[in-house]
Amino acid sequence: MIMFLMVNFCFYCHMQLSNADVFPHNHDEIDIELLGHERRKDWVLQTNIYGNGSVKTGREEKFYLWFDPTTSFHEYSILWNNHHIVFLVDNVPVREVIHNTVISSVYPSKPMSAYTTIWDGSEWATKGGKYPVDYKYAPFVASLQSSEVEGCILNQKSNVASSCTRSSLSSLDPVDGEEFAKLSSQQITGLQWTRGKHMFYSYCKDTARYKVLPPECNAK
């Protein structure tokens, strides 16, 4: 999923893959969220993943953006396949979640739909509600310039994605092919840069929130 988005006083802009409407008790979810903090320059990109109804364990990671998202459109992308989930901003990876045995039970695996919304996130998206939404700046606007979605064809009768089930990698596969199975050396460099310079929160380091860290954290 690729979206070109420009925001203006958006306190919580949400780009989401979800299947909660079809699987309300064990839904999957992959999120990109833009959080407006107390100072206009402190725009935060938050990524999150829920798998198989694991909503009690938030797998959030937060990054300070290296640009002002209100001045021009930027590309926010999610690559999701059987190999990994990759979050990208302007084609630069900010997070990779590799599909392995440690995380397999909560790895998103069911067909999902794409959503773009604006939510009032004043209690949790603005430092615990310390800086609540000031409605004198309404209306709050998020402008979507364009979007692109490529993936597997869903069998409506079985709720199973049927076109990405090849036993071997193929360059013809839109999301599961060879070029999408792992990051390139250039992408790895970009990932190291964003995580080293711009990431300021990871659930895997939040020992106050999780007395016992989720198992995939210990595998890193």
Active-site residue, selected from the candidate residues 33, 61, 96, 216: 33
Alpha carbons within 13 A on the beta-carbon side of 38: 8
* Known active-site residue 216: no
Cα-based angle 189, 39, 135 (whole degrees, multiple of 5)? 125
Beta strands in 56-162, from DSSP E residues, in sequence order: 61-64, 74-80, 84-89, 92-98, 113-118, 141-148, 154-155, 160-161
* Known active-site residue 33: yes
184: helix, strand or coil: coil
CB 178 within 8 A of CB 169: yes
End-to-end CA distance of the chain: 26
Active-site residue, selected from the candidate residues 29, 61, 96, 216: 29
Q: Which positions are catalytic?
A: 29, 33
